[in-house]
Structure 1
Amino acid sequence: MAGVKDSIKDSLRGTIVPDPTLPVTSRIRAHFHHHSRIDSETEERYMNEEDFINAIAPVHEDYHKIKREQYGILFRVADRRKTGKVNLHDWAAFENLIAKPDAEYEIAFRLFDVEGTGAIKYETFQKLYKENTGSDSIPFDWNSEWASLYTGTKKRRHDMTYPQFAQMLRGLQGERIRQAFHLFDMDGDGYIEPEDFQRIILKTSKHKLSDHVLDNLPSLCTISAGSKISYANVRAFQNIIREMDMIDNIVRSAISKSHDGKITRTDFLNEAARIARFSLFTPMEADILFHFAGLDTPSGKLSLNDFAKVVDASWHSTAAALGNAAVEGATQAADKATTKSKQVLHSILGFGFTLAAYEVLQKWLPLPGSHAEEVTPIGHIEPGLGQRATGPLPYIRSRNALKLILDLDENFGRIKVPKGAALPGGAA
């Protein structure tokens, strides 16, 4: 057992020395050469940050929710030697890392494992948290009972191993929302104002939600009696965010059986019960989903286009592409969205990232690894909710890696990669 633990720790330490044994396929080499430049002194090819961003985030695409420059965060991860240059072996190591099933968690772990020991010290974690917390951030108590379960109490702190850190991240957002609710629930009655709920969501989940949902957050108070929002409402809303992928699948399945391409709340719950082994959604969660999806459709029977406003974080981009297509009916709208998706995908097939129109945000809600990834052939687009372009597994993982770092940005104010944090040289 000790040998297994030592092996895990060794694999997480990594190295900042390029590993020439990493496989460099013709595809990796060709893409690197396409986006790299030649060093005038060494005559070796390399990517600077601008080249790297161009490779993964084409300049002509829409960056409505995530600013294009934020993709530079991944450059700082790929720049293992901290020289400001990514060479071919760095690029191969980057691809090797993002191909791993837990890549998103491992990248985050390495950002905080400053000393490269394979464990994160509580003091280091706290220091980085304080350095990166903005003045307008909602406070988070790292001495809370929840946090102590992962880091120990004040008198019995312990380092966090990679599995412990990853599991802590898995539940971090839920605890952050819980603490924020307590902060705004000043009289302790279990309710907060709609404006406070909106602030909580904007600070924790803004990049995961469509403009349609964000613009209508205060309306959540209308689903129950009174003018305030209960903690039950907040938790139900969070659960809806967590299960967006499953919601997508259920909606598609239910609508495929509908004669008019529309479903009711009852249809949704019946299909959810049929698909899942255990009950997935509470009545309140179904109410919240249909509330936001049906704001523009009071009949209670909703189409794919209605649900796209909720489950597709890229809905803003889809709407812009469609123009006035919404009035033409759900089928025509979906067809036009699919055409736009194909145009976007073809422009970035070289690298495989399906980042355009914020597909990057759809698969990680709220933390990566909670849902299985569906892999379809390059260029294949499924019609339906918004833009569902998918690509090869390594690039799906690289999408998720970026999502995790961006979510840490939300939790910590702004992630600054510490000196010494390194990408593994050859972890397989």
Structure 2
Amino acid sequence: MTLRPNHLFSDSILKHVLPCASCHERKDHGEGLGLRRADPVRLREIFEKYATVNEDGELYMKADVFVRDYLGLHKDEDYNPNAVKLIAGVVDTSKDGLVSFMEFQAFEALLCSPDALYRTAFQMFDTHGNGVVSFQEFSDVIKKTELYQKVPFNLDSDLVKLYFGKEKNKLVSFAEFSQFLHDYHEEHAVQAFKRSDKKEVGFISALDFYNIMVSVKSHLLTPCVKDNLVAVAGGQQVSFPFFVAFNSLLGNMELAKRVFLNATGNDKTADVSREDFIRSAQMMSQITPLEIDILFKLVQLTQQDTRMQFSDLESMTPEQYMKKITSFTLTEVKAVSSPEERGVMIEVLESAYRFTLGAIAGSVGATAVYPIDLVKTRLQNQRSVSFIGELMYKNSWDCLKKVIRHEGFVGLYRGLVPQLVGVAPEKAIKLTMNDFVRDKFTDHKTKKIALSAEMFAGGCAGGSQVVFTNPLEIVKIRLQVAGELASTSQISAVQVLKELGFFGLYKGARACFLRDIPFSAIYFPVYAHSKKKLSDENGYNSPWTLLVAGAIGGVPAASLTTPADVIKTRLQVAARAGQTTYSGVFDAAKKIWKEEGFGAFWKGAPARVLRSSPQFGVTLLTYEVLQRAFYVDFGGMRPEGSELSLSLPEHSTQARATNPDHIGGFKAAIPILSGIESKFGLVLPKFSHRTADHPN
């Protein structure tokens, strides 16, 4: 097939952006956004799926099919054909309404480039496909945007003449046009100010200021800034210097962040006074005193504080939306399309990574709730028929008080050392196994997993941990109940190990399986679904929601498996003189029922829930926060809800591609098209009837 004439995709450029015929996976291309180029064979299969036009034996995709069916944009019946045509023009470089496979493949390569956002915007204006933009092309496109229809731009301004020449016959290259897009929006704002300043006194009303900002600079306004536009102006007239400084500040927020970090020694948790910020600004930037005044006034309005925190700057930073789109591109899109493509060594490394983080998380969680676990164990070991004639503990609170009174605060942590030694591999293998099995059963295109598969993954996780859990718990339990004895001699973990021997460490293992498999089969699915329910509108989970989701999962899992835990405890604790002994799981269950009744199986249930619920909340919170802080991309799946994102503008296209046919660079197509709206304010009317309000 012969590519239609196109300056942008000349032979030299095509050699750079397109893979060679024998290469099915080029890793040396697309490094800019971290995108892996699509397999050309798979790309052609997808192209032919949507290509419905056959000309001289060659297949072509209709331009509107590319936008509406493949990208999934402007699917409404009353869609704007002009908007669809402009979007299609970024790939249809021959401008004939048809997309060839070569054009389709070349655009996929362009989307992998580091400056894909600017190049895509440029191609939208390059309506003739000759690699330059004329004044007429710029004028035709800009008149179709919502911004121009709301606030007309003087196309005969000095700025336009400086770029396109006095006669407007100069052709502008990609690099020059990128700069022009920036200057155009600054000039648009200035023109809007002059139009409102009818008396030419250098002032406009606060209401005019608000209207200009939400019309011309809406793509730069975060919610907290937009809500305080009138207040920051003092509710009075706004001078031109204030107007310029305000817009300059919005463009300098990243610089303001560096000034802040310079003032605090890179401490994002500190706060800064206006004076300290000014001193830092004078040392390293060109942020003016007026811009600083506006900045601190915004802080005072939004936070009711005279000192500024780093989070204040983040909440005001324009283009933050685009950064999150880039973050999505670098993380989700970066993964290979199928985990099966990864080598065994990569999966081993990923499991080792998860194991390490799981060990740390497990230790943190166990330490946080160990006193509750000690109380739970002593209550479960307490027999209704006591050999001393009365119950030692009335309830959990009574047990806690007596432990502190007779054994001191340190008594609450009896057996903690062997617990930490064992809990690290126990929780690590549990978390790792659950993630591993979930990965295998998850549809990586839709990222969905069946509930039965979730329960199976949890069950596998629970069963796999018993090899560590049983020895750990039998030593821990015997140390925990040792404090009940009146003997002055202290029993140690080493003594317990010598007494039990290797096989003794697995006493009660059946009961341990009976408890841990259903516990994890219940816990992990409940946790996963609780996370989704508690996530924000963009699917992100804050640390607080992770803690709550983990705690919620522990309630049904811990309570429903209490009978198995009681049996396990009775089997593992050494019986004292006069106490009933048990030969196995069924023997213990039968004797407990006969001697103590059905209620005995639920002894310590409240303490067990109070321990397991916060423990797993802290453990899963730590585990996921560690994965976020020390993220390593192994090409697998990240925990759901890990990506922080901001709400998209109401007019914006959807930021995340959901079509499984969006492979390679096309995974970033929708984010980049949305970024054009966010970065440059080039919003195209969605519906056709809106074009009737054209200001011309």
1:208-357 to 2 correspondence within 5 Å?
208-222=220-234, 227-256=236-265, 261-274=270-283, 276=284, 279-311=285-317, 313=320, 322=542, 342=628, 357=645
> Hey, what's the Cα distance between the residues in 2 that align with 1:76 and 1:117?
12
Conserved? CA contact 1:192–1:229, under 8 Å? yes
TM-aligned CA distance change 1:206 to 1:248, over 3 Å: same
The CA deviation at 1:240 is 1.1
Q: Does 1:184 align with 2:196?
A: yes
TM-aligned CA distance change 1:186 to 1:285, over 3 Å: same
TM-score by length of 1: 0.61
Q: 2:676 aligns with which of 389, 404, 427?
A: 404
1:5-404 to 2 correspondence within 5 Å?
12-14=7-9, 22-23=18-19, 25=25, 27-29=36-38, 36=46, 39=49, 49=67, 53=71, 77-78=90-91, 90=103, 92-132=105-145, 136-153=149-166, 156-162=167-173, 163-222=175-234, 227-256=236-265, 261-274=270-283, 276=284, 279-311=285-317, 313=320, 322=542, 342=628, 357-358=645-646, 402-404=674-676
Match of 1:3 in 2: none
Partner AA of 1:357 in structure 2:
S
Cα deviation code 1:119-160 (max 9, x no counterpart): 33323333333344678511210111222212223xx33132
The CA deviation at 1:256 is 4.3
TM-aligned CA distance change 1:248 to 1:351, over 3 Å: farther
> Hey, what's the Cα distance between the residues in 2 that align with 1:86 and 1:404?
24
TM-aligned CA distance change 1:95 to 1:144, over 3 Å: same
> Which one has a larger percent helix, Structure 1 or Structure 2?
2
Conserved? CA contact 1:122–1:159, under 8 Å? yes
> Hey, what's the Cα distance between the residues in 2 that align with 1:406 and 1:259?
27
> Hey, what's the Cα distance between the residues in 2 that align with 1:13 and 1:207?
29
Partner AA of 2:296 in structure 1:
F
Q: Which moved more, 1:208-217 or 1:288-297?
A: 288-297
TM-score by length of 2: 0.40
Partner AA of 1:159 in structure 2:
K
Q: Which moved more, 1:71-80 or 1:279-288?
A: 71-80
> Hey, what's the Cα distance between the residues in 2 that align with 1:230 and 1:318?
38
Cα deviation code 1:292-344 (max 9, x no counterpart): 2332433311222222221264599799855999xxxxxxxxx99x959959x
Partner AA of 1:198 in structure 2:
Y
Residue 150 of structure 2: SS of its match in structure 1? Answer: coil
> Hey, what's the Cα distance between the residues in 1 that align with 2:233 and 2:676?
30
Conserved? CA contact 1:250–1:268, under 8 Å? yes
Match of 1:61 in 2: none
Conserved? CA contact 2:60–2:99, under 8 Å? no
TM-aligned CA distance change 1:358 to 1:400, over 3 Å: farther
Q: Which moved more, 1:45-54 or 1:201-210?
A: 45-54
Conserved? CA contact 2:108–2:666, under 8 Å? yes
The CA deviation at 1:172 is 0.7
> Hey, what's the Cα distance between the residues in 1 that align with 2:644 and 2:68?
18
TM-aligned CA distance change 1:398 to 1:282, over 3 Å: farther
Cα deviation code 1:273-308 (max 9, x no counterpart): 33x3xx421111011122223324333112222222
> Hey, what's the Cα distance between the residues in 1 that align with 2:170 and 2:221?
34
> Hey, what's the Cα distance between the residues in 1 that align with 2:115 and 2:223?
30
> Hey, what's the Cα distance between the residues in 1 that align with 2:41 and 2:128?
30
Q: Indicate the structure whose relative CO is greater, using CA pairs within 8 Å and at least 6 residues apart.
A: 1
> Hey, what's the Cα distance between the residues in 2 that align with 1:239 and 1:129?
23
Conserved? CA contact 2:278–2:292, under 8 Å? yes
Residue 77 of structure 1: SS of its match in structure 2? Answer: coil
Residue 29 of structure 1: SS of its match in structure 2? Answer: coil
Q: Which runs of 5+ in 1 are unaligned?
A: 1-9, 57-69, 326-334, 362-391, 417-428
The CA deviation at 1:400 is 6.2
Residue 160 of structure 2: SS of its match in structure 1? Answer: helix
Residue 266 of structure 1: SS of its match in structure 2? Answer: helix
The CA deviation at 1:234 is 1.2
> Hey, what's the Cα distance between the residues in 2 that align with 1:284 and 1:12?
47
Q: What percentage of residue pairs aligned between the two structures are identical?
A: 20
TM-aligned CA distance change 1:266 to 1:91, over 3 Å: farther
Residue 13 of structure 1: SS of its match in structure 2? Answer: coil
> Hey, what's the Cα distance between the residues in 2 that align with 1:341 and 1:80?
43
Root-mean-square deviation over aligned CA pairs: 5.3
Structure possessing the higher radius of gyration over alpha carbons: 2
> Hey, what's the Cα distance between the residues in 2 that align with 1:194 and 1:287?
17
Residue 198 of structure 2: SS of its match in structure 1? Answer: coil
Partner AA of 2:255 in structure 1:
M
> Hey, what's the Cα distance between the residues in 2 that align with 1:202 and 1:102?
27
> Hey, what's the Cα distance between the residues in 2 that align with 1:299 and 1:405?
33
TM-aligned CA distance change 1:359 to 1:184, over 3 Å: same
Partner AA of 2:198 in structure 1:
M
The CA deviation at 1:257 is 5.5
The CA deviation at 1:73 is 7.5
Residue 200 of structure 2: SS of its match in structure 1? Answer: coil
TM-aligned CA distance change 1:114 to 1:135, over 3 Å: closer
Partner AA of 2:49 in structure 1:
D
Residue 199 of structure 1: SS of its match in structure 2? Answer: helix
The CA deviation at 1:415 is 12
